Amino acid sequence: MTKRTRQAVSVLSALLLSAAAGCSAAGGSAAGPAPARLAEPGKRTPTSAEGSPAAGGFTLVASGDVLPHTSVIQRAADDADGDGYDFRPMFSGVKPLVSAADLALCHMETIYGEEGGPFSGYPAFKSPQEVADGLKDAGYDGCSTASNHTLDDGADGLRRTLDRFDKVGLKHAGSARTAAEAATVTTYTAGSAKVAHLAYTYDTNGYPLPEGQPWAVNLMEQDKIIADARAARKSGADVVLVSLHWGTEWQTEPDETQLTLGRALTASQTGGRPDIDLILGTHAHIPQPYEKVNGTWIIYGMGDQVAGEMFNYTGARDMRGNYGSIGRFTFAPPAAAGQRWQVTKAEFVPQMMDLSSGRVVNLPATLAKDPDRDDYERAQDAISEAVLSRGAAKDGLTMAK
């Protein structure tokens, strides 16, 4: 362990002794079983130089919470130079990584306001619709949209968000405008695989589901998740991905709900084949571990991808709220029809929201070019320590860039 790593571990350990505070930041005003509707063919075929998977296989990239506080919105306004909001520069540092994947999924935690505003940060978020344009430009194919903030502006905010997704060509899972949309499995084609994406949240911050719309947001219920996964598989999905907005904010270690539900979901099988192939966690605002449970990878929490200054429950500025990991998984086709698609490579990429530049930073790639950035190295060490804290290295998880 290097001196810097020891320092990072010490800092992380000290921070873990603190209690924490939700989505706060400085400057804030701060569905049931159904046949799948298939998406258009996948957008990319990685070259051999990019480490392409076996014939017909694919690479998946997934990232954490996009949480635009008012300072983040102001940065996008500055980057637009007086002409609205431009979030494309914010994601430029991870665009090469995201756009190289066959399938790239994000987590849009907040909802969108009317074009031109007004916008707000914590505690009830309304973000510029141009966030979706930035995500699309970075190479994302779709996002999970079920979170505790999905109903911050009721059914109208939900509708505006998904309307903008449709406009820019992003798919979405976890919230819906109609019962028919809620009953449709979000499905992609990646390599030769049909990939289903399901998404759920533990709560909506006490906001009730819109009257007459019990399907508007998927709530995190074990039986429903398993039923939806089985329906997706029955409809032809080769790989089933589940996004869960869960966990205890500011806590690195997964809580009892995460551990219990994670074990139950990964143990669920039909005909000897697991019903779920990967779990992608969000919500805790800090990096949480990756772990292989019952032969299936779980990311308990990817941390924040985009956020302003973050303060934990003690009221202290907490840098971990700007740390995150990007998961990258390579899937290969099964040896025989009807068997499970296999994860042949599991990787994580430490990333950081650099508030001084207003950019999301791919830490390993940046440190390879500029090894003297001590702040980036401390962040990378702290993220790696959290990601590997439940022994994922022994199951083959490695850091990539």
pLDDT digits (tens, 9 = 90+) for 4-37: 443 443 433 333 333 334 465 544 333 333 333 3
**Residue for token pair 């830490």:** 363
Calpha distance 243→300 (Å, rounded): 10
pLDDT at 55: 83
Give whole-number Cα distances, 288 to 16, 137, 253, in Å.
12, 27, 6
DSSP H helical ranges for 239-373: 256-267, 363-369
pLDDT at 18: 36
- Whether the predicted model's global pTM rises above the 0.85 cut: yes
Predicted confidence (pLDDT) per residue in 206-262, tens digit: 999 999 999 999 999 999 999 999 999 999 999 999 999 999 999 999 999 999 999
Calpha distance 33→40 (Å, rounded): 21
User: Residue 309 CB: number of other CB atoms within 10 A?
Assistant: 19
pLDDT at 337: 87
The parts of the chain modelled with pLDDT lower than 70 are 1-54
Calpha distance 334→49 (Å, rounded): 24
- The dihedral sign for the CA sequence 177, 126, 96, 167: positive
pLDDT at 229: 98
Q: Which CATH number fits domain 3-399: 3.40.50.970, 3.40.190.10, 3.40.50.300, 3.60.21.10?
A: 3.60.21.10
In the chain, the amino acid numbered 344 is: T
